[in-house]
Structure 1
Amino acid sequence: MTCARSNSILLALLILLSGTLPAPAQLNVVGDGGPGPVKAQHLTAELTTLSPSINPGGTLQAGLVLTLEEHWHVYWRNAGDSGQPPHITWTLPPGITASPLQFPAPSRLPLGPLMDFGYEDTAAFPITLTADKTVKPGPIHLDAKVDWLVCSQTCIPGRAHLGLNLTAVTTPIPTPAPVGALGTALTLLPSVLPPTMQYSILGGKKDFVLTLITNKKVDDAEFYPYEADQIDNAADQDLTLIPGGFQLRIPRSTDTQTHQLTTPALPKEMRGVIKLSDKESYDVTAPVVPGEVPIAPGKGTQASGVTIPVAIGLAFLGGIILNLMPCVFPVLFLKGLALVQSSSEERSRLRAHGLVYTLGILVSFWIIVAALLILRAGGSQAGWGFQLQSPTFIAILALGLFFFALSLAGQFDLGLSLTSVGGDLAKKQGYTGSFFTGVLATIVATPCTAPLMGAAIGFALAQPAGITFAVFTALGLGLAVPYLALSFQPAWIKILPKPGAWMETLKQLTSVPLFATVAWLLWVYGNLYASPTNPSLGVNRESDLLLSLLLLAIAGWALARWPAQLKSTITAVVLGALAIAFPLYQPKDTSLTWLPYTTQTVADARAAGKPVFIDFTAAWCLSCQVNERVVLRSAEVQKQLADRKVTLIRADWTQYDPAITKELAALNRSGVPTYVIYPTANEAAADVLPEVLTKGVVLDAIDKDTK
């Protein structure tokens, strides 16, 4: 939910504010290359093995173990939205080789609207050492340079010079037990997918659907891709159980540089880790097959319990209930009376009237479903589920359902002219009258269908055409069956309740689930814009749609104030057009241009008498990304920076830069984020802002330093 995401941002900022700043320090290398642990900022680093000895021609499990202070973390091989994994460079004696670092399955590490992948508390990265057969018995020393990034409210790169002392022996070495942090990490490495499991990936316009047949019950699953910028890291990964396994729906990565919902081309394949629990994960690779797996409204079809028989049954029952609607029941009641009055006719003729009435309903529903399938085909066969990923469709659907709900709640009568036309046709004598009575029943029942039939219709529209027709046919048969039964047994008209005020109450109650659906669509609409680029954008777009709903409410008032008059129709049409146009307007990206950091760029700007704002940041710094998206990209801050003609410089520390490191040290800082404003006056001292930014802090600093 958009408001929940906003709350998470505020919570993250409060957490950051509650922390203390790290002590200023240079980025020094700790350790002298000897064995044993070394203490660095916020962690202890050590190279360790399961055994002190290795056989020539054999292997030995070693590992890099990082023991972290509380609330600090390091990163997986794909760090997520920010960060970078540990790296090791070996200096090895002849005959000894070392494998790359191996990474156990990570955890999701959220901060505000972003998500990193990594480890807290203790992180161990297994390494396989191999000794050639030519290695001579005796002592061996292994030397390694290790670097990492450790983060909490700030991110600090670290480096260490570590070592291992081993002994090459020719006597057999017992298989060592997997103990300690290294032993635990070895058990947590992703396993190869067994042949009893089947894995596949479907890539749609907005998401990936990963299918894993496990032949066992799965309660939870998370996917971590090896490649960056493939998935929306912070988005929920929705699990849907299917026979024999599950499907995991994951939104694709969107353009993080603008507010537009654009996506890169589908990758040919995706590699990664599926984590089923803290102790079970699998290394998976599969080609990405283009295609869509539609989403039924609310949840996946299996998760919601809606299967083909259930959907058909719900449709049939819903059709029967539709007969109790105040706009449908009088039609049924009057036709039933007509049957009683014509009871002298042949029984076969009465039944024929019932069958023709049923045909009128079925033909009407078939026309409706054919039109819906044509519209669905225009969306690349995406179905109802795909449309729920389109902000335009969500807005129009929410507005339409809200308008229907206002009518059901009693604000105005919808479709008086259509009902009048259908009524004229229904008054015709003979089979023509019976047929168009069925058409009329369909017309007046359609606005009531959604609140009663949401799950079944949503399921039907996400299925192949044959199933869709079957569900809608069941709905039509349910609507037709009471009158059809009366045509076979006219005497049953005596048991029908008489029309009355109870029908209006029932109609108004059906507006409640429609309003609830509109509320859910508002949440979906906001989330489509909020993830992952700019959380405030989702709130803004949601408020636009709320204003459109207000315009529709005013349109409904006009229809009720002047019923069936031209001026009310014109007013409603104009307000409806504005209501549709308002949420569909796409705001332009107003992001300002940032210059890359050099000492000369800063000197030139200051010499010209311009105020300078320097953003010391890094791609691996999650706090930096939160500050940028929540504060620096906000409209108020962007406008103030532009109006005061502030020179914007970004000091990108993603890769180690000695010039930036030196400048940070001069500012008495050891890590990022760091924010500095140099006032207009050339001799003025730098104004160093807090690590956690708010709009007020930045706006006040700009106002103070640019006078």
Structure 2
Amino acid sequence: MRIRYSLLAAVCILFPILTAHAQLPVAGDGGPGPVKAQHLTAELVSASSTIAPGGTVQAGLVLTLDPHWHVYWINAGDSGEPPKITWTLPAGVTASPMQFPVPSRLPLGPLMDFGYENVAAFPVQLTAAKSVKPGNIHLDAKISWLVCREVCIPGKAHLGLNLTVAQDAASVPPTGVLGEALNLIPRPPPADVKFTVIGGKSDFVVTMINGHRETSAEFYPFDEDQILNAAPQTVESLPNGVRLRVKRAEDLAKLPAELHGLVKLSATKAYDVTAPVTPGEVAPAVGSKSPNSSSGITIVTAIGLAFLGGIILNLMPCVFPVLFLKGLALVQSSGEERSRLRSHGLVYTLGILVSFWIIVAVLLGLRAGGAQAGWGFQLQSPVFIAVLALGLFFFALSLAGQFELGLSLTSVGGELAQKQGFAGSFFTGVLATIVATPCTAPLMGAAIGFALAQPAGITFAVFTALGLGLATPYLLLSFQPAWTRILPRPGRWMETLKQLTAVPLFATVIWLAWLFGRLYGPSGSLDHMSFLLGGFLLVAIAGWMLARWPARWASAIAAVVLGALALATSLYSPKDTTLVWQPYTQQTLDQARAGGHPVFIDFTAAWCLSCQVNERLVLRSADVQRQLADHKLTLLKADWTQYDPEITKELASLNRSGVPTYVIYPTSQAAPADVLPELLTKDVVLTAIDRDAR
């Protein structure tokens, strides 16, 4: 069964309280790019910067991927989604559907994806009507994709293209990756090339006759759920062509009337084929081969790999602090009866297993509903990361000695740890599972991939083995009291050790804060990390109140309120109603001025505090935004966060050597640049706009 991707659905089922704020970060501000997102760089390119009225220009989306990461073809295979683009175009300008070059088969455990690695370019043809007037135009595009390796991460970008409509614009053939992609677009077969398809009980046999021997071939279906994507495709070379045997999908009860797919003969040669399906059987030929076959994985192997992967998972940085704390609690209780120690180990194991069973139930529910979610999918949610980071920070403050919280997860609830000692072990197992899911220990990838493609019983068995592996170290320790005797006796040293234990938790919080910022992309990472740091401050105040007035309802309630406020602060994301600022280049400035447009340039930097104050209090104000839009100023942002010689040169031409600097180039090209004061006010900016944009 095909598994589709739905991050928000997964969070909604598993963490319903978090869904209100979950959203995907958007890279880019509407400019052409390139923009950096998680594991890829996205860019819109065009063969020419000009287009004639009634003419066309070849453009395209280019995705440059990190090593071993991939995006998808129009039919993604067993999992995934292809990139999508939604245009907002000027009147008279149209864009063709995005084209997909020849893909490759990308095996992942027992699954098979169809897609692209390294660099993927998707051509789009832009057409301008004869009625389009000469001048500068901006094409706006919203891009979405799914980039995958062992896990899948959705992404979005806001990109654009700046073109000039000119009567004398010449047609320019595309070059580079865009030109290569156009050459790889599948074409219909020539008239002298014939295809036939025989559909049997378990196979489709595709035969191509083109007059000469072919030694390799692959079939990619445009329609889903027709073939078994991961099954080996057997190639039989013929004197005048090639025959390809493709496994029929197990759930395909009735033969389709026709088969529509891509027959790939080499890395640069493929045909887009639609052929009627004739019922029948074709005996396999002697000497046929399966060039794309891969070794399978059995149920027993998957369970074994999952169990070993779970054991190794205990050594991962995100899990080890929790396991260490549980071991520390075991040292404190080493004087208890053997049966009670074993009971704690069993309850801890039960907490892990119940958590894994909930996760696998969610995944199976998503699979049944046509969704796809990967291991650790909650780490793609900024809300979940904020909750986890704030919780671990609060826990680490307790371990460091700011206030007394206890060693179990349930001691946050006060009396629960005292009245129900086993509850602490159970919920520590739950915590271990929650912090374990972001990690993928060695041996886990193939087992999880296999499990998610199998019937429900096998999936539960594999995930149960994974949970048992995670629980095994502590479980064995609780069943062997002799092993606890070799541990140091409880004493004053444990308080020091407890405080030292806060160090890896604080380190984990730092990593989560970094990851939190990364989810918002390069443009928003610093702002959102700042909000999260503000949340940490509120959590620290809550901890101080618990230490100042311990065991009091008032301080507990105040701490809960501060915790909620900390989460709200961390997730604060002001709606960006500002106009789109294009990155400054001399070419963009010259084009705007040549078109008779007034230009506002904001010379700024991330480290410039005055720049940030001016931007938030003045440039983003409703009055200034409305005035900029009404007078149709071209807005350019010269980001000097990192040294840029072109920006430095432009500053020097304005007799300025630093930022902030604000300049308006009036509508008239003969008028000099209007340089505004470093400290802006609304009146200063509004007056300058009215003066220079007439």
Normalized against structure 2, the TM-score is what?
Answer: 0.45
